[in-house]
Chain A
Amino acid sequence: MKLTGAKIINECLVREGVEVVFGYPGGAIMHFYDAMLDYPIHHVLTRHEQGAIFAADSYARVSGKVGVAIATSGPGATNLVTGISTAMMDSVPVVCITGQVAAHLIGGDAFQETDMTGITLPITKHNYMVTNASELAHVIREAFFIARSGRPGPVLIDICKNAQFEEVEFIYPEEISLPGYKPPEHAPIEDLEKAVKLIAESVRPVILAGHGVQMSGSMDELKSFAQKTQTPVAMTLLGLGSLPASNPYNLGMMGMHGEAYCNQAIQNADLLLAFGMRFDDRVTAHLRTYAPRARKIHIDIDPTEINKNVKVDVPLVGNLKTVLNDMIPLVKPSEHEEWLDQITQWKEETKARDILSWPDEEKLHSAHVIRDFWEKTAGDAIVTTGVGQHQMWAAQYYQLEKPYRLVTSGGAGTMGFGLPAAIGAWFACPERDIWVVEGDGSFQMSLNEMATVVQEGANIKILLINNSFLGMVRQWQEFFFDKRYAATPISGPDFIKIGEAYGIPSKRVTKRKDVMDAISFAQETPGPVLIEYQVEKEDSVFPMVPSGAALDEMMRRPITRKKAGKK
């Protein structure tokens, strides 16, 4: 059967199970868009290509499927770059399809020509340029396989205009050959035995659960490993939700803004079991002082992560789920009562410093807002965030019982991620409650996507934390730059008017007593709602590990109500 390239792309997408794509049309991708009308693929028109790729990214994180983003050549394609890098840093399976000028014009600086495979080379798992229609089926098949297998990641396919309208024989490749691509599955038994020996010798073990736990669907394995060996579990930002917050072995979030007792546990551990995480600088703090007494076992599917930041004693390279299933029967049950008691003591101290233990003084702190929001939604909403203080507060106070609930840009720290991500999450799980927690700075980078929300009728609730500052940078300026607030005071529009102008019912809250009511209002109002919380302007995220310090040298929130200062 002869088909145009544009139809072949659609045929292949349907066969990959694609139901929804996010994108923005343009000259070099028009043939593909035209053909899409005849296929059961829903296209979501975002208001900026960056919104499209954030939505596709979030769709992939929530659904476990591959997200698809589409853009035209030149500026359309380059607008994807930040989102591709975000997906790369967080290992999210995304396929980007970009239009390109006709093959005979390549290299001639034609209108809207940009070297997309060149630009995205270091920020994609792999990329392709397709110059004729006969290559399309193979390339798309390979791209989806590469994106979702092994350590997932973004794959870009740059498709020349002529490859979209040429007609060629369409044969769907049931089998393809990728001789240089072989993601590891099992770890060698000798290495497993070494690991089992270290586990048996340990008296103060800690598990470090990363994004890999949810990516590989190893939540049950994690839980049974933790229970069998009585090992507490610390989580990275993207690991949150791997173990229910109410589980007795849960230590919460580790790292720069992690729980103090969690960081203390890591620093005092004699064995670290890293499950699908990569010892990012945000979780290790100063490397030379990191977990000095601990031996390390590192399970990761990506061999380049082994010994990259932290030298490990036993590397187990393979699929986390497979490796854990291989390892759990080999480990003997053990008890670590003394160690767990010690951690409980550290926990008690943390409680005293928690902002939630403070008396109510009519001041609205972000922590209060997130805490009340958590209670009202029973901790079961899908929460997407931007990047900054609000993101850390959401991670600290929105305690997750289930996986795939927190969608946030971890490795790249991409502002403006929250609202487009909520759109992607809504298409992945329209029956769930979808909430965006955004800051006033981050929100202003992508609030144009409110139009997309309304056009698609997406039921998304926006919780805006407004402190009139780029708060995270302001916090650093307060602590390390003598309060010289360079470029951090930020004004905004009247967010209520903006929301209403887009057709979104909007409410402003300035008092703590009104926090709950506003959330009820959002829950009871059908469709999207925006609530702006005007919170304390100069509040800081605690605890905080300053750069260059060891992981347990944290700046803590003072127990008394004096202004925050040195620890």
Chain B
Amino acid sequence: MQHTLIAKVENKPGVLNRVASLFRRRNFNIESLNVGRTENPDLSHMTIVMENHDQDASRVEANLYKLVNVLDVQDVTNQPAVTRDLALIKVAVEPDRRTEIANLANIFRAQIVDVAPDSVIVEITGTEEKIEGLVELLRPIGIIELVRTGRVAMLRGNSLGIRYTPGTNGDTPNSINIKNKKE
């Protein structure tokens, strides 16, 4: 089944490579991976969508925890979370049919963000199902190009969420300090 994981990682060079390398090394299959900045300039937020044969993604979660640069990981698949995807869709359209596109976009609360003599770019944000819906309607008109950001996710409310890795549940200290043992 499909799992959505969110991870807080240190904003340092090479961290994305470490995460991607882990998925390859452990033979986990990534569907989409999104990295972006957060309210804290030292942290990045990752949303990873993956296919997993197991009922839960606890092995993936535990492996991500093991990376020194990863602060927190949760599987939000079965938790109350907001998930969004953004798509830019370039549609081939002559000037006389632009209104048709505009109307469709309107229904989906999408926007036309660029107009060229023979094409327009539609921007849509929403759940994947909603985007699929618009894409299906635009396809017969003629999609030239389509890009999507992949899923981003955030837990609802103030809950700390659930972690399936033994020994890590609810345990999210922001930093630990180590001292030299006096010998």
Contact = CB atoms under 8 A, between A and B. Distances in A.
B14 A182 contact: no
Interface residues of A, number: 33
Interface stretch (B61-69, B98-106, B119-127, B136-144): B61-69
Interface string B40-78: 000000000000000000110011011111110000000
Contacts of B14: 117
Interface string A302-333: 11101110000001111000000000000000
Given A176-B178, A180-B10, A318 B167 contact: yes
B27 interface: no
Interface stretch (B17-25, B31-39, B79-87, B151-159): B17-25
A304 B63 contact: yes
Interface stretch (B88-96, B109-117, B168-176): B168-176
Given A180-B67, A302-B66, A307 B17 contact: no
A278 to B, nearest CB: 13
Nearest to B25: A122
Contacts of A17: 183
A180 B9 contact: yes
Interface string A291-306: 0000000000011101
A304 B59 contact: yes
Interface string A166-195: 000000001111111110100110010000
Interface in A134-179: 145-146, 174-179
Interface in A1-32: 15, 17
B59 A180 contact: no
A303 B166 contact: yes
Contact of B177 (A176, A184, A191): A176
A523 to B, nearest CB: 35
Nearest to A17: B183
A121 interface: yes
A180 B70 contact: yes
Contacts of B97: none
Q: What range describes how many residues of B lie at the interface? A: 20 to 34
A118 B17 CA distance: 9
B171 A180 contact: no
Contact of A184 (B25, B59, B167, B179): B167
Contacts of B62: 303-304, 306
Contact of A308 (B18, B21, B59, B70): B59
A223 B68 CA distance: 34
Contacts of B59: 304, 307-308
Contacts, number: 75
Given A180-B10, A180-B70, A180-B71, A315 B166 contact: yes
A470 B178 CA distance: 48
Given A126-B68, A304-B63, A175 B10 contact: no
A178 B178 contact: yes
Nearest to B181: A17
Nearest to A16: B180
Contacts of A302: 66
Contact of A307 (B18, B21, B58): B58
A281 B17 CA distance: 29
Contacts of B178: 145, 175-176, 178
B175 A179 contact: yes
A303 B66 CA distance: 8
A389 to B, nearest CB: 31
Contacts of A306: 62, 166
Given A304-B63, A307-B59, A179 B183 contact: no
B175 to A, nearest CB: 4
Contacts of A145: 178
Contacts of A125: 68
A181 B167 contact: no
A180 B167 contact: no
Contact of B21 (A15, A121, A178, A188): A121
A122 B63 CA distance: 12
Nearest to A15: B180
Nearest to B54: A307
Nearest to B14: A117
Given A121-B17, A121-B21, A175-B178, A303 B68 contact: no
Given A15-B180, A304-B63, A181 B68 contact: yes
Contact of B174 (A15, A179, A187, A317): A179
A408 B171 CA distance: 37
Interface string A266-308: 0000000000000000000000000000000000001110111
Contacts of B166: 187, 191, 303, 306, 315-317
A88 to B, nearest CB: 12
Contact of A178 (B58, B68, B167): B68
Contacts of B70: 180
Contact of B176 (A178, A303, A304): A178
B167 A317 contact: yes
Contacts of A187: 166-167
Contact of B68 (A146, A304, A316): A146
Contacts of B173: 179, 182
Nearest to B17: A121
A431 to B, nearest CB: 21
Nearest to A150: B66
A174 B179 contact: yes
Nearest to A149: B178
Interface of B: 9-10, 14, 17-18, 21, 25, 58-59, 62-63, 65-71, 165-168, 171, 173-180, 183
Given A181-B68, A302-B66, 10 more contacts: A117-B14, A121-B18, A175-B177, A176-B178, A178-B175, A179-B174, A182-B176, A306-B166, A307-B59, A317-B166
23 contacts: A15-B180, A17-B183, A125-B68, A175-B178, A176-B177, A176-B178, A177-B175, A178-B178, A179-B10, A179-B71, A180-B67, A180-B70, A181-B68, A184-B167, A191-B166, A302-B66, A303-B62, A303-B66, A303-B168, A304-B63, A315-B166, A317-B166, A318-B167
Interface of A: 15, 17, 117-118, 121-122, 125-126, 145-146, 174-182, 184, 187-188, 191, 302-304, 306-308, 315-318
The list of the 7 closest CB pairs from A to B, nearest first, reads A317-B167, A184-B167, A303-B62, A317-B166, A304-B62, A180-B71, A179-B175
